[in-house]
Amino acid sequence: MTIEIRKLPLFPLHTVLFPGSTIPLNIFEDRYKQMINDCREADSMFGVVLIKEGEEVGEPSIPHRVGTVAKITNLREVSGGRIYISALGTERFQITEIEQDTPYLIAAVEVGEPDENPYIPESEMSLIKEAASAHVKHLLSIRGGWVAHARTPSNPVELSYFLAQLLQIDLAKKQDILGNTSCRERLTTCKNHLERANTNLSVQTGLEVKLRFSRH
């Protein structure tokens, strides 16, 4: 386990970002425009954290302790002073101390994956990938698409975060997954959620097919 200590500006949001996923952001508050400009000038990153107490706009909110480092991949300034960015989640981090709260939060954080090389039996990985592939196919089917083989990451750590981002569950449950330091437990949790979702989606898809044919 390689953990790096660093200072990181924080962007508390009502969303959970996972490593490997992207997030679009519409920046309009002065403090966060300054944060983004500071990151751009220093070629540095910022941390996305789920809000524990408070709101995105206004007084500083209280964030959860675990978040994801975000790298700006695209930035566009528009009229009215707004900034539109896309950011890629890169690594998980844990806050050790909030060092500054004005104009925006800056924290001392531990960055790194706590379970870098987990052992996951191949039979277990196959079941997880099978549930993930079925879920992607169901989602595509509902949107009128189709795919023979849904691609998923082969690395267990990357797969755990990919599946967590894919899940349509409440934010508290997503935060619990991000906060779990065991890759195997994250994968098991995601698999259980996927299997329940797949059952519901199968029923939904079946009803839509029946309705489609009943119109002919």
Residue 81 sits in the same domain as residue 132: no
The structure's pTM equals 0.87
* Residue-level pLDDT at 149: 65
- For residue 68, list its beta bridge partners: 48, 92
Residue 165 sits in the same domain as residue 200: yes
* Residue-level pLDDT at 135: 85
- For residue 66, list its beta bridge partners: 94
DSSP for residue 81: G
* Residue-level pLDDT at 162: 95
* Residue-level pLDDT at 213: 47
pLDDT in tens, 163-200: 999 999 999 999 999 999 999 999 999 999 999 988 88
Cα 104 to Cα 31: distance, rounded to the nearest angstrom: 6
Q: Which residues of the chain have pLDDT under 50?
A: 207, 209-213
Residue 126: domain span: 122-214
CATH number at residue 193: 1.20.58.1480
| CA 197 to chain centroid | 18
Helices marked H in 65-108:
none
Helices marked H in the chain:
30-42, 122-142, 156-166, 171-179, 183-214
CATH number at residue 60: 2.30.130.40
Tokens encoding 148: 């023979």
